[in-house]
Amino acid sequence: MLFNSYEFLFLFLPVTLTGFFAFGRHSHALAMGWLVAASLFFYGWWYPFYLALLLASVTVNFGAGLALSRVAPPRRRHILILAVAANLALLGYFKYAGFFVGAADAILGGAWPIPAIVLPLGISFFTLTQIAFLVDTARSQARDYKFTHYLLFVCYFPHLIAGPILHHKELMPQLDRADIVRFSPRRLALGLSYFTIGLFKKTVIADALSPYVGRVFDGAAQGMAPSGAEAWGAVLAYTLQLYFDFSGYSDMAIGLARMIGVQLPLNFHSPYKATSIIEFWRRWHMTLARFLRDYLYIPLGGNRRGPARRYINLILTMLVGGLWHGAGWNFVLWGGLHGLYLAINHAWRALTGSERRRSSMARSVAAGLLTFLCVVIAWVPFRANGFAATETILASLVGWHGWLPANASVAVDSVLGDAAPRWMGSWRWIAVLLPAVWLLPNTQEFFSRFGTLLPPRRHADRLPFPILGFRWRLSSGWACVTAVIAVVAVLYCSRASEFIYFQF
């Protein structure tokens, strides 16, 4: 079920909330049970068969967690290795079997059939979450938890399919709190408004950009070579689409959780305002970056074994991060690029000591633009279907196929038809949205007067034009404004499309 579907908005959500608060008046456990049932229904709506897979995964991992917490440390290692291997095997089969068989075919010249496996929704997210739980249990950092709480920690519908990637310490203690099952108008108002902003970002902005992106990237995959203007328009449109799509989803997840008093961690903090790649990864998909740091980069040795090893660890971590996003070489390339960026950024800092120096405004703007450009270039392989399409788009970005469509060797319009939007359309959106992501407060900052997110909260950025730093209030005026935004967002639900991160 999609957050931006009518069945979710007008049936599932009202019924779930009403049931939750109604049960909560009688029993905390009953309310939690209702929430578990609702979350499982939410997941099973898409493909009931995989509900069994999810439940099996949760049960096995909970059992492994129990075993880990009850045996002596020397034996924990064996159980942990076994449990993590089982999780990776599950992920490997459903997500990477086709990729590895295809790679083996290509390298060894074999002709093994590539299995056609339907990827279970959110498998990367719920596998990662549970691996973290197991590792922490083995380190004696996780308490004994109730099964329903563990089930909810993994399956809680706001974050189940596309994150934020939760840490058990963040969610499970909250589920014990007595007050979350009590109805609070203030929390509902806050959650509803936060959700509305996310819904608007998804349905009105991200989905509107999608055709401009698909037209050029899909055309490139079919052998068409877009002009420079088309390629830049599509790549920038994708840069914005991905941000509004994924941060919109995260906002919706945070808002949904907040309606019942659960706080989720921040996942996006104006990533395109970053002035370095290091900072970008502190702002983009923050919960994934945190996971990769804590459970991969640091265990690999982090920065403790000298600069050379640090750079290798960074690149390795980002390569795995790339592969986590998708079973394809394009994602590996994207991860590798970001690993390289991070290594260069760290090396530069070590060389110049620039981390300790205060930057001038001009320097910050230049650094911000360079960072943005690097990120945009890396999105090309992330979105393109294959290396050939990546190469075509990158060549177009440097004007290889002419700068304007009239000079292009093959016009994409001739293939996709008049129904395809014109390239100028993407630039109109870019002209509005790029200044918006650079100059306006993000959702978290917009709601900064209220405790919506888990600590540590990020400080609001200093805006170049403070007049634009408006904040949401719990007032009648804002209620009307938010309602109008909600109506517009609902009107655009009819062109419902899946969230980009569902595929990961």
Partner 1 sequence: MAYLRRFFVTFLALLGAIAALNALIDATGLLGAPLIDGLNQVKAPGNDRFFKPLAVELRQPRTIFVGTSRVAVGLDPHDLPGGDAYNLGLLGSTVPEHIAFARYAIDYAPVERVIFGLDYASFDDLNKYSSAYRLAILGRFAFWRALPDMLISQTELLQSRVTFTQSHHHAKPRYAADGMLIAANEHEDPDPTIRLLHKVGQYTRFYRRTFNPEPALADFDAFLAGLPPRVAIYVYITPAHAALYEALKAAGLEASYEAWLRRVTAICAEHRVKLWDFNGYNRITTVPFATSDENFIDGAHTKPEIGRLILDTLLNGASIPDFGVRLTPDMLPDYLIAQRAAGEAWRRDRPDDARRAAETASHAVAVEVGKGTRP
Report the catalytic residues: 325
415 touching partner 1, by CB under 8 A: yes
Q: Least distance in Å: CB of 413 to partner 1?
A: 5
Query: Residue 394 has which token pair?
Result: 């990158």
Select 170 or 218, whichever has its Cβ closest to partner 1. 218
Considering only CA atoms, which of 351, 293, 283 is closest in space to residue 318? 293
DSSP state of 119: P
71 touching partner 1, by CB under 8 A: no
Select 55 or 481, whichever has its Cβ closest to partner 1. 481
496 touching partner 1, by CB under 8 A: yes
479 touching partner 1, by CB under 8 A: yes
Burial track 465-493 (b if 16+ CB lie within 10 A, e otherwise)? eeeebeebeeeeeeeeebeebbeebbebb
Which residue in 93, 96, 492, 502 binds partner 1 (CB under 8 A)?
A: 492
Q: Least distance in Å: CB of 394 to partner 1?
A: 21
Distance between CA atoms of residues 207 and 189, nearest Å: 26
Which residue in 110, 353, 418, 465 binds partner 1 (CB under 8 A)?
A: 418
Q: What is the contact mask toward partner 1 in residues 444 to 473, using x (rule: CB under 8 A)?
A: ------------------------------
395 touching partner 1, by CB under 8 A: no
SS3 state of residue 111:
coil
Which residue in 136, 230, 245, 413 binds partner 1 (CB under 8 A)?
A: 413
> With contact defined as beta carbons under 8 Å apart, do 145 and 61 qualify?
no
Considering only CA atoms, which of 114, 124, 108 is closest in space to residue 57? 124
Burial class (CB in 10 A: 0-12, 13-18, 19+), 421: middle
Which residue in 48, 223, 435, 464 binds partner 1 (CB under 8 A)?
A: 223
Query: Residue 112 has which token pair?
Result: 């093994």
Burial class (CB in 10 A: 0-12, 13-18, 19+), 461: middle
188 touching partner 1, by CB under 8 A: yes
Strands, E, within 277-345: which ranges? none
Q: Give the number of C-alpha atoms closer than 13 A to the C-alpha of residue 328, restricted to the C-beta side.
A: 15
Long-range contacts of 166-171 (CB under 8 A, 24+ apart): 166/129, 166/264, 166/265, 166/287, 167/132, 167/136, 167/265, 167/290, 168/129, 168/132, 168/133, 168/136, 168/142, 169/136, 169/141, 169/142, 170/264, 170/265, 170/454, 171/262, 171/264
Which residue in 88, 305, 474, 503 binds partner 1 (CB under 8 A)?
A: 474
373 touching partner 1, by CB under 8 A: no
Select 455 or 477, whichever has its Cβ closest to partner 1. 477
Q: What is the contact mask toward partner 1 in residues 147 to 186, using x (rule: CB under 8 A)?
A: --------------------------------------x-
Region of 27-35, 128-136, 313-321, 486-494 interacting with partner 1 (CB under 8 A): 486-494
DSSP state of 180: G
Burial class (CB in 10 A: 0-12, 13-18, 19+), 422: middle
486 touching partner 1, by CB under 8 A: yes
Q: Least distance in Å: CB of 102 to partner 1?
A: 18
417 touching partner 1, by CB under 8 A: yes
419 touching partner 1, by CB under 8 A: yes
410 touching partner 1, by CB under 8 A: yes
192 touching partner 1, by CB under 8 A: yes
Region of 262-270, 283-291, 352-360, 414-422 interacting with partner 1 (CB under 8 A): 414-422
Sign (positive or negative) of CA dihedral 327, 51, 257, 189? positive
> With contact defined as beta carbons under 8 Å apart, do 77 and 138 qualify?
yes
Select 205 or 493, whichever has its Cβ closest to partner 1. 493
Q: Least distance in Å: CB of 503 to partner 1?
A: 17
Instruction: Name the residues that contact partner 1, by CB under 8 A.
Output: 6, 10, 185, 188-189, 192-193, 211, 214, 222-223, 405-406, 408-411, 413-419, 474-476, 478-480, 482-484, 486-487, 490-496
